[in-house]
Structure formats: structure tokens, C-alpha cells
């Protein structure tokens, strides 16, 4: 542990829960689940950015970052009373192959704080070596930390289940990736960071008693309704299935690509977890691969729903010892995915088109629009935003959408069908437009926007990080700066994002 001189008294507003702290709960399961260790200090840290919204959701005062030793605590240089840092062990499938033991290779949980939403785990990412770092250095770089910080909060503002990001601290400390970069620590928070891989670890190592203890832990603290089920473990698996299906629908509806959907990056709570080589679609391309390291395209945009289901099968395999080896019971717990995902996605797409009622032809209407967008490589976000302002009586609004498509005649035919569908509903145009503008964002975290903020941050200017954060916090509002909603510049086509961070 850190020396006594590094332990500082936290202000009462920040005092971690002493009654049921996360680390005490998980440590009660035994040392098979974790390793206690201190973060590795980061020299001469400085603040890069902070999320006011995240701090508010934690129930913290606006000046939390000015409190005693906060900069050192969130850089891995100090602890507040009640913090008991640890890294957890898990395993998983990476790019479809069993990777064996993994674990928190650069993430260290400090503890769980009491929030208005319950107890939330507070975790440092980039806080140094752990027993699970393998060939890594345990550090994160400024580039990837900014991307995770911005996207975590952007996804939350979009209404998508996600881990959150509280702050970033930086340092001149050098970290080697493809080139020398500077180090950073991003503090992320969530009700839990438990992953599919935690269950895979104990199943594949045949530690079935530990597997059961872990499942009981999850049910007790995150799924108590499963206790009343005839088969509690099957009920838990079904709950995770439904949450994952709903999450995939969220991603597809907003054009989000995760980039590395390994089972160790899948949340047991249905949260978007581990922002690495992610990206939002610019030109709509179902086969888009945002991860430069994904040479086979396993995690393309169109593949994400199927990969989510594949990952659930891997989780179900890990659950078999809990289900008495009953394969049919496990399959039954996965079955809802086949209906929950498509129904949830169609519901979201109806909302994006402003459709207030349900008709059997809606799926075809949506699919035909997406095919037209794919053929023209139409910008995903801009297309739906412009469609949100469409009014059949306004030629300007019609042409604004029409200009996005190469095959105007085919699009005109689709638009006529869409108009007829709207007439059948009879809702006033201004009411439909209001609904659509509330679900079709004006701004998403495009790669070039993140890149511009990163380039300035490398020069010590964090103003664009903070400006972008404010805009992303209100994604459905029109920002003051037109470049946030403009088409990506030509140079953005050459940006590449990989697993290196």
C-alpha cells in the first residue's frame, strides 16, 4: 500500500462509503477474484478535463477537484481514507479465439462511493502495472484517455447505457506506443465493471465454487429479482441477454461502432464498456470497420448485433456449470435476443423517422432508406438530422435531404412512400419534427473532432477538449459552432484508430 504520508483526509462530500464499500464486498469472495495493490504514481500530474455532469450524478460538489489532494488521488499518487485499490482477474475470447487469463492490466479500482443511484465503483485507467498487465506497461496515453473521456460522457448524453468518465489527469511521463506519447489517467465510474470475462475465467479454470459465488454476488447486488425465479442463474443469464440486446439496438440506431467487442469488453450490466478503437459512422457503410487492427472485419458495424449474440453464447457456456450442464436451459435464456434486439432497433428507427404508430411495412421502409444511404455513402448523422426538418410543403427542407443521395429518382420514390406514411398518421409536421430532433443528434463524437481536440491537448491547450465536452453534453441542441455539425473534412478519411492506447 502507499505510505502513510500519501493518505489524506477526504472532505465529507467525497468521503467514500464506510458501511458497504465495494472493495470490502468483493474481497469477501476471496483473493481468487482480485489482487490488492497501489497505483503507480504519475510524476507531476496536471488536470486535463473534468465532467461536471458526472460529478453531479455522483452527488459531488462542483468544486470537488479543488479539495484536499484530489489531483494526486486521481493521478494514482495518493489515496483518501476508505479507498482500497485492487485489480480484478478475468479471461475472455478476443477476436473469436480463447485468449486465456486477462484482467485489469492498467485499471485499478479505488473503491465504491455512495451516489444518488447507489454505490458506484471509481476506477483509474492508466494507473500502472498490475499482475494482469501481461506484456503491457499499465499506462494509458493522453490520446486514448481523451477519446474515452469524451465518448463516455457523449454516450450518456445520447441516452445510451455506458460507464462514465469523471476526469483526466496528464503528465509529461513518456509512454511508448507506435511512437513516444505522454501518459494520462482517466477516472471512470460505473455501478460495476464486471464483464462476461469474469465468468469465463472461473468456468474455464474449473473453479465452479468461485463461479457460483460470483453469480450469487451479481444477483444479490445487481439483479435481486432473479432470486425469486425458479432457476436464478438462468434468470440472470436471460437478464444479461435482454440488456445486451437493448444495448446493441442503441448502438446501431446512433451509428456507433465499438471496434473491439471481445467478451472481456462486454458488461454484465449491459453498459458500453472499454472505449478503445471506437467510432461513429460518417458515410453510412454497413461494412465499416473502425478498428485498424481488425484485419478480418469481425467487428464491423453490421456485425455488431451478431457478435453480441456470439458473446452471449460464450457467457452461456460459462454458465453451464451453474445450470447443471443443461444446454437447453441455457439456450432458452438466450432466446429473447432474437426478438428483443430487432424489436428494440425497429422501435428506435421508427422514432428516428418520427413515426408515432406501428405498421407492418415500417421495417421495409427503414431498410430501404438504409440501402439508399449505403449506396450513396450518405452521412448517417446529417441525413437523419436533415430528415428531422423535412416538411412536404417546404421544398427547401426536401432538397436538403434529397441532395445527400446520388440516385435522386430512387430516393424520391422512397420519400413519396414516407410522405404517405406520415399522412396516414395525421400528426402535424411541427410535432413530428420536434420528436425527431429529440432523438436524432446534431453532434456525435466524430473521429476528426476528437483528433482536433487531441492535437491541441498535445500542445498543452485543453480548451477544445472542454468545448467539445460541453457540446456533446447536449447532442440534440444546435451548437454555436457550425464545424461541429459539418461534414467531415477530407483529411478525416485518413484517420486510423487501433487497439493501441
- When divided into structural domains, the chain yields a total of 4
* Domain-terminating residue out of 193, 217, 245: 193
Rounded CA Rg of the chain? 23
Residues 152-166: tens digit of each pLDDT:
999 999 999 999 999
- Is the residue at 183 inside a domain? yes
Q: How far apart are CA 85 and CA 87, in angstroms?
A: 7
Comparing CA positions, the residue from 121, 125, 126 lying closest to residue 110 is 121
Q: How far apart are CA 141 and CA 128, in angstroms?
A: 12
Domain residues for 416? 353-437
Query: 423 to each of 65, 129, 383, 420, 429, how far by Cα in Å?
Result: 53, 61, 21, 5, 10
Q: How far apart are CA 408 and CA 388, in angstroms?
A: 19
Residues 184-200: tens digit of each pLDDT:
999 999 999 999 999 99
pLDDT at position 9, please? 41
Note whether 91 and 118 are same-domain residues: yes
Q: How far apart are CA 393 and CA 430, in angstroms?
A: 12
Residues 394-412: tens digit of each pLDDT:
999 999 999 999 999 999 9
- Is the residue at 204 inside a domain? yes
Comparing CA positions, the residue from 83, 99, 108 lying closest to residue 14 is 83
* Grid cell in block for residue 140: 494509458
- Is the residue at 289 inside a domain? yes
Neighbours of 200 (CB within 10 A): 29
- Is the Cβ–Cβ distance between 392 and 398 less than 8 Å? yes
Note whether 50 and 88 are same-domain residues: yes
Helices of type H across 285-407: 304-319, 327-334, 337-352, 362-376, 380-387, 395-402
Neighbours of 404 (CB within 10 A): 20
pLDDT over 50 (residue 386): yes
- Is the residue at 474 inside a domain? yes
Q: Report DSSP state, residue 478.
A: P
The contacts of residue 292 (CB under 8 Å, 6+ apart) are: 277, 496, 497, 498
- Is the Cβ–Cβ distance between 91 and 201 less than 8 Å? yes
Note whether 431 and 451 are same-domain residues: no
What is the reported pTM?
0.94
Least confident of 309-313, 349-353, 361-365, 490-494: 490-494
- Is the residue at 347 inside a domain? no
- Is the residue at 399 inside a domain? yes
Comparing CA positions, the residue from 135, 52, 134 lying closest to residue 89 is 134
Note whether 68 and 87 are same-domain residues: yes
What does the mean pLDDT of the chain come to? 93
- Is the residue at 100 inside a domain? yes
> Which residue's entry shows cell 458497504?
20
Q: How far apart are CA 457 and CA 418, in angstroms?
A: 45
Query: 248 to each of 34, 193, 301, 344, how far by Cα in Å?
Result: 29, 18, 10, 9
Q: Which residues of 39-61 are buried (b: 16+ CB within 10 A; e: fewer)?
A: bbbbeebeebbbbbbbbebbebe
Burial of 247: CB neighbours in 10 Å, binned 0-12, 13-18, 19+: buried
- Is the residue at 185 inside a domain? yes
> Which residue's entry shows cell 506497461?
137
Tell me the three-class secondary structure of 112-123, residue by residue: EEEECCEEEEEE
- Is the Cβ–Cβ distance between 186 and 125 less than 8 Å? yes
Residues 426-454: tens digit of each pLDDT:
889 999 999 999 999 999 999 999 999 99
Burial of 122: CB neighbours in 10 Å, binned 0-12, 13-18, 19+: buried
Note whether 68 and 183 are same-domain residues: yes
Note whether 186 and 222 are same-domain residues: no
Query: 235 to each of 228, 230, 265, 329, how far by Cα in Å?
Result: 9, 8, 22, 10
* Catalytic site includes residue 399: no
Number of residues assigned to the chain: 501
pLDDT at position 28, please? 80
Q: Report DSSP state, residue 267.
A: B
pLDDT at position 3, please? 36
* Domain-terminating residue out of 324, 345, 365: 324
Q: What is the mean pLDDT of residues 465-494?
A: 94
pLDDT over 80 (residue 211): yes
* Domain-terminating residue out of 193, 209, 232: 193
Residues 111-163: tens digit of each pLDDT:
989 899 999 999 999 999 999 999 889 999 999 999 999 999 999 999 999 99
Note whether 214 and 229 are same-domain residues: yes
List 72, 104, 264, 294, catalytic entry: 264
How distant is the alpha carbon of residue 160 from its chain centre? Answer: 8
* Grid cell in block for residue 201: 475465467
Percent of the chain with pLDDT over 70: 94
Confidence band for 95, pLDDT divided at 50, 70 and 90: very high
Percent of the chain with pLDDT over 90: 86
Phi, psi (rounded to 5 degrees) for 116: -60, -20
Least confident of 14-28, 217-231, 370-384: 14-28
* Grid cell in block for residue 327: 444446454
Note whether 71 and 87 are same-domain residues: yes
Note whether 247 and 390 are same-domain residues: no
pLDDT at position 499, please? 66
Quickly list DSSP for 53-90.
Answer: HHHHHHT--TTGGGSTTHHHHTTTS-B-TT---EEE--
Note whether 150 and 57 are same-domain residues: yes
Comparing CA positions, the residue from 248, 217, 202, 257 lying closest to residue 447 is 257
Note whether 173 and 232 are same-domain residues: no
Note whether 8 and 33 are same-domain residues: yes
Burial of 377: CB neighbours in 10 Å, binned 0-12, 13-18, 19+: middle
Q: How far apart are CA 112 and CA 24, in angstroms?
A: 10
pLDDT at position 178, please? 83
Q: How far apart are CA 344 and CA 324, in angstroms?
A: 32
pLDDT over 80 (residue 8): no
* Grid cell in block for residue 178: 507506435
- Is the Cβ–Cβ distance between 370 and 470 less than 8 Å? no
- Is the Cβ–Cβ distance between 108 and 41 less than 8 Å? no
Confidence band for 90, pLDDT divided at 50, 70 and 90: very high
pLDDT at position 110, please? 94
Residues 342-367: tens digit of each pLDDT:
999 999 999 999 999 999 999 999 99
Amino acid at each position: 500500500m502507499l505510505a502513510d504520508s500519501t493518505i489524506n483526509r477526504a472532505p465529507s462530500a467525497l468521503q467514500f462509503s464506510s458501511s458497504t464499500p465495494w472493495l470490502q464486498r468483493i474481497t469477501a469472495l476471496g483473493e481468487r477474484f482480485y489482487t490488492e495493490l497501489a497505483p503507480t504514481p504519475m510524476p507531476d500530474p496536471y488536470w486535463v478535463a473534468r465532467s461536471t455532469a458526472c460529478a453531479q450524478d455522483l452527488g459531488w460538489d462542483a468544486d470537488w477537484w479543488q479539495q484536499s489532494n484530489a489531483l494526486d488521488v486521481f493521478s494514482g499518487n495518493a489515496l483518501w481514507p476508505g479507498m482500497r485499490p485492487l485489480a480484478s482477474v478475468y479471461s475472455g475470447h478476443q477476436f473469436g479465439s480463447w485468449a486465456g487469463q486477462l484482467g485489469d492490466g492498467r485499471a485499478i479500482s479505488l473503491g465504491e462511493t455512495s451516489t444518488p443511484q447507489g454505490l458506484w465503483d471509481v476506477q483509474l485507467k492508466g494507473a500502472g502495472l498490475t499482475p494482469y498487465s501481461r506484456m503491457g506497461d499499465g499506462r494509458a496515453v493522453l490520446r486514448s484517455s481523451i477519446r474515452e473521456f469524451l465518448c463516455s460522457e457523449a454516450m450518456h448524453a445520447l441516452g445510451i447505457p455506458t460507464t462514465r468518465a469523471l476526469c483526466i489527469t496528464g503528465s509529461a511521463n513518456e509512454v511508448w506506443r507506435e511512437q513516444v506519447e505522454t501518459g494520462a489517467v482517466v477516472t471512470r465510474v460505473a455501478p460495476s465493471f464486471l464483464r462476461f470475462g469474469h465468468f469465463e475465467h472461473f468456468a474455464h479454470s474449473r473453479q465452479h465454487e468461485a463461479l457460483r459465488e460470483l453469480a450469487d454476488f451479481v444477483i444479490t447486488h445487481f439483479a435481486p429479482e432473479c432470486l425469486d425465479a425458479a432457476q436464478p442463474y438462468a434468470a440472470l443469464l436471460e437478464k444479461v441477454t435482454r440488456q445486451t440486446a437493448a444495448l446493441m439496438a442503441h448502438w446501431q440506431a446512433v451509428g456507433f461502432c465499438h471496434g473491439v467487442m471481445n467478451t472481456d469488453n462486454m458488461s454484465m450490466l449491459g453498459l458500453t464498456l472499454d472505449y478503445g478503437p471506437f467510432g461513429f459512422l460518417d458515410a453510412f457503410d454497413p461494412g465499416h470497420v473502425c478498428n485498424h487492427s481488425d484485419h478480418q472485419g469481425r467487428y464491423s458495424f453490421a456485425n455488431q448485433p451478431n457478435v453480441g449474440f456470439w458473446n452471449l453464447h460464450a457467457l452461456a457456456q460459462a454458465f453451464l456449470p451453474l445450470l447443471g450442464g443443461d444446454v437447453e436451459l441455457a439456450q432458452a435464456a438466450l432466446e429473447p435476443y432474437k426478438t428483443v434486439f430487432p424489436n428494440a432497433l425497429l422501435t428506435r428507427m421508427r422514432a428516428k423517422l418520427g413515426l408515432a404508430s406501428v405498421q407492418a411495412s415500417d421495417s421495409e421502409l427503414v431498410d430501404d432508406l438504409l440501402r439508399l444511404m449505403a449506396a450513396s455513402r450518405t452521412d448517417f448523422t446529417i441525413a437523419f438530422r436533415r430528415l428531422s426538418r423535412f416538411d412536404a410543403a417546404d421544398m427547401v427542407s426536401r432538397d436538403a435531404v434529397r441532395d445527400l443521395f446520388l440516385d435522386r429518382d430512387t430516393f424520391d420514390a422512397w420519400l413519396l412512400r414516407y410522405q404517405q406514411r406520415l399522412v396516414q398518421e395525421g400528426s402535424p409536421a411541427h410535432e413530428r419534427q420536434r420528436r425527431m430532433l429529440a432523438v436524432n443528434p446534431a453532434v456525435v463524437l466524430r473521429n476528426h473532432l476528437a483528433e482536433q481536440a487531441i492535437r491541441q491537448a498535445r500542445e498543452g491547450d485543453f480548451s477544445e477538449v472542454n468545448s467539445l465536452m460541453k457540446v456533446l453534453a447536449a447532442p440534440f441542441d444546435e451548437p454555436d459552432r457550425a464545424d461541429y455539425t459539418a461534414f467531415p473534412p477530407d483529411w478525416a478519411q485518413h484517420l486510423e484508430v487501433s487497439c493501441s492506447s
